[in-house]
Chain A
Amino acid sequence: MIKLEKQSENNLILNIGPSHPAMHGTIRIVAEVDGEKIVNSDVEIGYLHRGFEKTAEYKTYHKIIPYTDRLNYTSPLINNHGFVLAVEKLLGVEIPERAQIIRVIMDEMARITDHLIDVAAMINETGAITVLLYMMEAREYFWDVFEHTTGARMTTSYIRIGGVKADVPENFRELSEYAIKKTRKILKEVDKLISKNAIFLKRTRGVGIISKEDALSYGFTGPLLRATGILYDIRKFVPYSIYHRVDFEIPLGENGDVYDRYWVRMQEMEQSMRIIEQALDLLDKTNPEKIQSEDINPNEAIKKVKNGETVPLKKIKLSPNLEGMEDNHHKKIYAKDKRFVPPSKQSVFNSIEGLVHQFLFVMEGYGIRPPVGEVYSFVEGGNGELGFYLVSDGSDTPYKLHVRAPSFHLMSSLSQMIKGHYIADVIPIFGSINMIGGETDR
């Protein structure tokens, strides 16, 4: 319920949202306005509450991964990674190098798509619709890479406990390089169009300023904290996966206003592309050896038997849907510890041991059962520190799972940020936060 005490009888109460085109993510702001100026406001969230944390207590660890896609749906791969890291920390699994490199590449691509949609939406709402169209095009190139690699565009569920779902396709390097080349060009155009645009500067400079002290007090992390000029990035300060092996810079703002947030995000996309380029080189060094396959196609075998021909005893060939899960890839992308990773599909289809292993792995009560304990694991998400607090009681479902959603903390400062500004400024300020309903409301 909204709680707002009117400060003056002459003021007006204005309701913005929850179903308003610019309040993407469904959020409601009730503001007390004096003319056009906002005197006081109350923010209501929770319209997208789905009970993620309650659901997670009744699902096995593998079944939670698809739910994490829906937390921050603009960068699902980072969410997968964050959750998986928490479970792995509890289990103590060592992840092979190739899987870690793939994870970092996918993370950075997800970060770029996240920043693209945020910057595009914010600029669109200040009146420049062209940028939205350009940036959607750039996002499409990265989604093509996702589609080829993970099989889905948004709900990827790609990063799994102990590794990744499947190896990258053969043309992965070309696809990624093409996406990066195209995106660089688009970002350059947007930069020319917007960064020194008088209208955009007037709409964003000095708007929604938050001081360093307040940013810390509100628990800001990620691009919004860096826009105030505080140097903190988990990828640099507490490096996970292979972030210590790649070279990148952390862009910093000065004033903590909307323009700085835009600028920081634009620069971060370039840095992410640098990371991807370096990681692609690292990935090439870990390519699995190619096996000349003599496996038999099941359809052909059936036809031959029907015609009365004899079929030589050979291994069954995998369906094209399972590309990247063959034995030689499986070794490179999954951890060695057999207790925590699914068996390779070839061993499932060709041997009884593999089949039994697969059954035990997916059966409720038998799958992954971490030891009793608790863990807090964190990654640098699109909006800041994405943390997973996990308590395990030794069974195959978590006893408690709590998500530290970065935009929840950012949203708690919205009331202060819009105070004293005009109604028209609410939209760019809210846009610069990049509030994602799925993450804030869980």
Chain B
Amino acid sequence: MEEVIKNILERFGNREIKYKDKDMWTFYPDKEYFFDFVDYIKDYGEFDILLDITAVDYLEWTKEKKDRFEMVYHFLSLKYNIRIRVKYTLKKDEKGLTLTSYYKNANWLEREVYDMYGIVFEGHPDMRRILMYDEFKGFPLRKDYPLKKRQPRIKGLNDD
């Protein structure tokens, strides 16, 4: 086991954080400790790159899942050449935690998650759609959004 991972486990293990080792190290910090966790890995582990933010909608998951959404973060530490995955769950109308003050690309990534899943991030400076247009109703990547749903043509600037 790598030193960094060992230290993260030592530091946060007693707070009953679950972890597993499959494909890459995955951490499930409680939502209230999430910022402490990011603080720690960014300062100590030098996870300088936020690779990706995405969410998974577990509405149609056949096995037991308590909460509807799961936020998935991937981090990369150049110094130790190691990647980790960090997760926390959200209920249907619960707000997400923003990382905009830690990583600059979190701004657009969180806008994308909002656009696709309708998860609002508390404290995000610029919460608006990014890939879809503003008149679009609903959130396309949610499992209850039908694949072939059609939406009316939006009015152009010169239409009456």
Provide the residues of chain B in CB contact with A238, threshold 8 Å: 81
Q: Report the minimal beta-carbon distance from B13 to chain A, rounded to whole angstroms.
A: 22
Which residue of A219, A237, A389, A441 contacts B49 across the interface (Cβ within 8 Å)? A219
Whole-angstrom CA separation of A234 from B30 in the bound complex: 31
Provide the residues of chain A in CB contact with B145, threshold 8 Å: 54
Question: In the complex, which residues 76-96 of chain B have their Cβ closer than 8 Å to any Cβ of chain A?
Answer: 78, 81, 83, 85
> Does A357 lie at the interface of the complex (its beta carbon under 8 Å from any beta carbon of B)?
no
> Does B72 lie at the interface of the complex (its beta carbon under 8 Å from any beta carbon of A)?
yes
Smallest Cβ-Cβ distance to B135: which chain A residue = A1
Q: Report the minimal beta-carbon distance from A378 to chain B, rounded to whole angstroms.
A: 8
Whole-angstrom CA separation of A46 from B57 in the bound complex: 22
Provide the residues of chain B in CB contact with A293, threshold 8 Å: none
- In contact, B131 and A399 (Cβ under 8 angstroms): no
A376 with B133, Cβ < 8 A, contacts A219-B51, A219-B103, A412-B104 known: no
Whole-angstrom CA separation of A402 from B140 in the bound complex: 14
Which residue of A3, A387, A412 contacts B107 across the interface (Cβ within 8 Å)? A412
Provide the residues of chain A in CB contact with B9, threshold 8 Å: none
> Does B130 lie at the interface of the complex (its beta carbon under 8 Å from any beta carbon of A)?
yes
- In contact, B131 and A1 (Cβ under 8 angstroms): no
Whole-angstrom CA separation of A385 from B50 in the bound complex: 12
Which residue of A89, A237, A389 contacts B54 across the interface (Cβ within 8 Å)? A389
> Does B36 lie at the interface of the complex (its beta carbon under 8 Å from any beta carbon of A)?
no
- In contact, B74 and A45 (Cβ under 8 angstroms): no
Smallest Cβ-Cβ distance to A395: which chain B residue = B62
Q: Is the interface of B mostly helix, strand, loop or mixed?
A: loop
- In contact, B108 and A412 (Cβ under 8 angstroms): yes
Whole-angstrom CA separation of A372 from B49 in the bound complex: 28
Which residue of A54, A373, A399, A412 contacts B147 across the interface (Cβ within 8 Å)? A54
Whole-angstrom CA separation of A58 from B78 in the bound complex: 36
> Does A270 lie at the interface of the complex (its beta carbon under 8 Å from any beta carbon of B)?
no
- In contact, B147 and A58 (Cβ under 8 angstroms): yes
Provide the residues of chain B in CB contact with A373, threshold 8 Å: 22-23
- In contact, A217 and B104 (Cβ under 8 angstroms): yes
Q: Report the minimal beta-carbon distance from A214 to chain B, rounded to whole angstroms.
A: 7
Whole-angstrom CA separation of A221 from B112 in the bound complex: 19
Whole-angstrom CA separation of A373 from B129 in the bound complex: 30
> Does B159 lie at the interface of the complex (its beta carbon under 8 Å from any beta carbon of A)?
no
- In contact, A217 and B54 (Cβ under 8 angstroms): no
Whole-angstrom CA separation of A379 from B37 in the bound complex: 27
A45 with B131, Cβ < 8 A, contacts A389-B72, A391-B56 known: yes
Whole-angstrom CA separation of A400 from B142 in the bound complex: 10
- In contact, B50 and A1 (Cβ under 8 angstroms): no
> Does A203 lie at the interface of the complex (its beta carbon under 8 Å from any beta carbon of B)?
no
- In contact, B131 and A237 (Cβ under 8 angstroms): no
> Does A408 lie at the interface of the complex (its beta carbon under 8 Å from any beta carbon of B)?
yes
Which residue of A214, A402, A441, A442 contacts B52 across the interface (Cβ within 8 Å)? A402
Q: Would you give the 0/1 interface string for B31-73, flagging 1 where the beta carbon is closer than 8 Å to chain A?
A: 0000000000000000011111010110011110000000010
A54 with B130, Cβ < 8 A, contacts A402-B54, A404-B52, A413-B104 known: no
Provide the residues of chain B in CB contact with A54, threshold 8 Å: 140-141, 145, 147
* 4 more A-B residue pairs beyond the given contacts A46-B131, A387-B51, A387-B52, with a C-beta to C-beta distance below 8 A: A55-B147, A232-B78, A391-B56, A412-B105
Report A's interface with B, CB cutoff 8 A: 1, 3, 45-46, 49, 51, 53-55, 58, 89, 214, 216-221, 230, 232, 237-238, 372-376, 385, 387, 389, 391, 393, 399-400, 402, 404, 408-409, 411-413, 441-442
Report B's interface with A, CB cutoff 8 A: 22-24, 48-52, 54, 56-57, 60-63, 72, 74, 78, 81, 83, 85, 103-105, 107-109, 112, 116, 126, 128-134, 140-141, 145, 147
